[in-house]
Every structure is written in structure tokens, then in C-alpha cells.
Amino acid sequence: MDHREFTEVEMMTCAAARLFEDQKAYFIGIGMPQIAAMLAQKLYAPQIIWIYEYGTVAPQLPLPFEPLFLGDSKSNYRAVAWKNMNHVFAQAAQGFIDYGMLGALQIDPYGNINSSYVGGTYERPGRRFAGAGGANGIASLCWRTIFVMLQEKRRFVPQLDFVSSPGYLDGSPGARERVGLPANTGPYRVVTPMALFDFEAQSHRMRLIATAPTVKVEHVLAEMSFEPLVSPTVEEMAPPSAEELTWLREHIDPRRLVTGKGKVMRRA
């Protein structure tokens, strides 16, 4: 695959990496968020630190990326500290962790997410998944939360099968504060291979603000089971650059374990 073509996950990874702010602290999930953080640190935000929910603070992961190594020596390589879950979530509760980056099974118009099950009931689910893990604490306590998800109707739903982690709840003013969550916190962006969303300040409803190259607004809306707000000016995201793809394909994920997934897209 040349640099004119890229996978959906490469598009999503690059779009997520560009959102990282330098000199900020991030709670990072396993998999694609790790790769996005690595890419951001190499190209855009060299002084970010990231934290894992089990307590590791500011590791420097050796390349290349290897999946499913949560808690092993590579996950913690040259970390500033290796504490525990209580310690890092107490730091988040005190306001020391700026962003969380999470994936999810489902998301609703107000940024509430489901990571637990789909179909049926909690006692008798249609299909049960791993659950929220530390995502509830991340979505509750970080100042801002970024979600990375594939763009599919079954994922963008008007009502979740189960609320694993809170967004803006019902979207009403002060909804988070009424259940004891910190003020001025909540969902910030949703990144998919097709689009970028924010949350409108007054209604707290998801809003489409940008689309991927060659993707039209109607294509994005067709892959959602609810109608989001749409910005008056929907921008076009830049495709992955040659430098981004080189880092991803030659250094970070050369075996294409994560970034090789998804449909192939082309720049305009």
C-alpha cells in the first residue's frame, strides 16, 4: 500500500494523534489509543505524558508496538512511577489528568458510552463484553474525554443498551454535577474513520464538525442511528501524511496488527 492509500484505522489514528496537546497528561486505553499517543509524541506533542489505569505514569514505550501487553515490562518501560489504580484515579479526581482517550461499543448523542453488553438485559445479555474497566473513572474525572470508534449505525445509537461510563447524561444543564461529577468536565471529541465530532456547548449534543477526505456529510449520517447536530461549516480533515504513515508502518506498527484493519481509503 502506498501513501495515497490508507486504512480506516490509519485515518482514525492520525486524526486522533493531531488532537493531542503538548505538556498535557492523558489517560490512555490499550490498542489504537496507545498508537495514537506514540504517533503524537513523535510528531506533534513530544512532552505529553500518559497514564494507564492500573497505575503506571509516563512510560516510554519501546517500538514497535505489541498488543495485549498491559502490565508487563514493556508497558512500564522507563516509567516515572508505577503506583496503583487508587493513586492515579485520585490524581484524576484532583484535576491532574487533562484528557482521557477511550473506545466503546456504543455511544449516544450526549457522549454516554457502553462497554458492557449489547442486546438483552444485564442478567441475560445478548452478548457480553469485557466491561468498562477503568473507563468509568476516566470519563467521570478527566477534564475532557476523547472517544475513538468505528463509524457504524450499531455503535451510534439514540439509547444505550447499558451505560458503562457517563458523558453528559441526559444533556440537561448541570446533569453531571447533580450526580456528583466534577464541574466543567465531560466529552470533548469523537474520532471515527469518517468524521470528527464535538459537543455543542449549550445542548451538550454531539455535533459533526469535519469529515474525512472524499466522505460527504450524508455518508456519515447514514452510519448513525440518531441525527447529530451539524456545524454550519463542516471542514475536511487532512488525510494521513507521508510522514505519519511512515512512522506508523515502519516504526510503530510495522506488522499492521492494529493500523492495517478496516477498509482502504484514498486521498482526494
Residue from 5, 8, 21, 53 carrying the catalytic annotation? 53
CA 51 to chain centre: 14
Contact status, residue 197 vs residue 207, Cβ threshold 8 Å: yes
- Active-site residue, 235 included: no
DSSP, residue by residue, 36-49: HHHHHHHHT-TT-E
Task: Give the whole-angstrom CA distance, residue 185 versus residue 221.
Answer: 27
Q: Nearest 5°: phi and psi at 7?
A: -85, 165
Q: Alpha helix locations (H) across 76-216?
A: 85-93, 135-141, 175-178
Task: Give the whole-angstrom CA distance, residue 35 versus residue 196.
Answer: 18
Q: Indicate which residues carry an active-site annotation.
A: 53
